[in-house]
Structure 1
């Protein structure tokens, strides 16, 4: 990537990810990071941000894009292939049947979104093992933290958020979420500024999930109170960051 003028949203994404990486010690020299790329704006911005962080951090780490096509449109990932080639980024792109299976009688107990995500996550873990990756990075942001917190509270009666930097398989793999300090609105502005090639999600449940309902309810509650929204976001981010530090200090 050559030099370019970055706007406020782009700089905020890069700086906030850097702050969280440094605070939690997400990466280390020689890290091999698999980036889960769905085709949506969060994972696209994460991929772009990590390319910038490669140029900033004082050590070398590798990036590999991992895309697991759920199977609704076999050609939807074509923009990703072109982008990876143009930017010299390694990638694994694979067509699966996860989406149709999640909407079939095979899935009798869970929502299609939950079942598909479970199949995808398991497959991503397998790919990390296949390519000897040390990290798996997801593009979850501050809005996702808020949605997950309320989902766990409403649906499961648990006070639980979403980890920023977690060890899996006895420490063989770290799951990281570098964009957790960034709100969705900032990511939305950044993806437009970078002109990243998003593609439409063809899943029939894409716009009808319980998670989206929870966020709509939260936004309605905060509609006339901007202070409430910022307080909830900031409070949950500080809480999750404190939990991450406590786990790492053990």
Structure 2
């Protein structure tokens, strides 16, 4: 298989490649995303993120201590004007195993969504169902998607603000029917790095606006909010993402995940000293004789 690295890279470009590969490798290790003998179906949309994911997975495939296969799969949704030749030519030029799957979800979306309304939600669900089914048909054991850290943080806020749920895109997901596992190898990668990577790699980007739909306005607003936060306090997005990995259920409010109703005190064990517990009462109107062991509290 052809090597994907562009020759004569600058020092900064080499550093960026190493950083992205290191982050992808760590995400794969932390979540056991890829195992010995896996067949990884890399879903390639034609956007910068999926191109970057494919490039990095193939590079890691050569140096990984385990054996796994990577198969690129593009779902051609029959959008008018979609340049059907670009992806096959790209895959062929690099000798990447691939499938182009034809599925006219475009007509379904246009028939069900009123003109002027965003089609992204339904389009995504139809695409996911097709990819799940195709993964089984080719014996793929993992489905790799190109969502990155920014996507995951944005999705958490979208669900909080507009769905009243605290959830996001997990780095690794077992489908509801338990027939497929989805992985997101770019979970530790920032979008800004992927943009730089895509620019010097010169991937043949296919825009995602051929159907006439604009990106969800709510997501645009959340992205702008996070961009502003990150500009004011660099590292803010990384900090939010780390919080998603460090959840304290007892400090939230979900009664389905933590049993708040049956919390009970237990003073039968030896008492540990609290910090700053040696207080001094200077005034009170309480008759302490009315309380049992009040002096021991």
Classify 1:205/1:170 alpha carbon distance in 2 versus 1 (closer, same or farther; 3 Å): closer
Contact 1:113–1:209 (CA under 8 A) maintained in structure 2: no
Counterpart check, 1:210 vs 2:214: no
Equivalent in 116, 120, 125 of residue 132 of structure 2: 125
**2-structure distance, mates of 1:70, 1:94:** 8
CA RMSD of aligned residues (A): 2.2
TM-aligned CA deviation for residue 239 of structure 1: 3.3
Residue aligning to 1:23: 30
Counterpart check, 1:87 vs 2:94: yes
TM-aligned CA deviation for residue 111 of structure 1: 4.3
- Larger displacement relative to structure 2 (211-220 or 140-149): 211-220
Counterpart check, 1:39 vs 2:46: yes
**1-structure distance, mates of 2:82, 2:143:** 24
- Larger displacement relative to structure 2 (110-119 or 125-134): 110-119
| Aligned positions, number | 237
Contact 2:120–2:215 (CA under 8 A) maintained in structure 1: no
TM-aligned CA deviation for residue 151 of structure 1: 0.7
**1-structure distance, mates of 2:73, 2:217:** 24
Contact 1:7–1:193 (CA under 8 A) maintained in structure 2: no
| Runs (5+) with no aligned partner, structure 2 | 248-297
TM-aligned CA deviation for residue 29 of structure 1: 0.9
**2-structure distance, mates of 1:30, 1:169:** 24
Classify 1:210/1:89 alpha carbon distance in 2 versus 1 (closer, same or farther; 3 Å): same
What per-residue deviation string (whole Å, max 9, x for no partner) do you get for residues 59-100 of structure 1? 210111111122223642422101211222221212332234
Contact 1:145–1:161 (CA under 8 A) maintained in structure 2: yes
Pick 1 or 2: higher relative contact order, CA cutoff 8 A, min separation 6.
1
Equivalent in 147, 157, 169 of residue 150 of structure 1: 157
Contact 1:68–1:96 (CA under 8 A) maintained in structure 2: yes
Classify 1:15/1:112 alpha carbon distance in 2 versus 1 (closer, same or farther; 3 Å): same
Task: Choose between structure 1 and 2: higher helix proportion.
Answer: 1
TM-aligned CA deviation for residue 196 of structure 1: 1.3
What per-residue deviation string (whole Å, max 9, x for no partner) do you get for residues 145-166 of structure 1? 1210111011110111211012
| Runs (5+) with no aligned partner, structure 1 | 244-250
What per-residue deviation string (whole Å, max 9, x for no partner) do you get for residues 99-134 of structure 1? 342233x247x8411000000000000101111110
Counterpart check, 1:239 vs 2:243: yes
Counterpart check, 1:174 vs 2:174: no
Classify 1:31/1:60 alpha carbon distance in 2 versus 1 (closer, same or farther; 3 Å): same
Residue aligning to 1:248: none
The TM-score, its normalising length taken from structure 2, stands at: 0.73
- Larger displacement relative to structure 2 (114-123 or 170-179): 170-179
| Structure (1 or 2) with the larger CA radius of gyration | 2
- Aligned to 1:11, the other structure's residue is in SS state helix
- Larger displacement relative to structure 2 (189-198 or 129-138): 189-198
Residue aligning to 1:59: 66
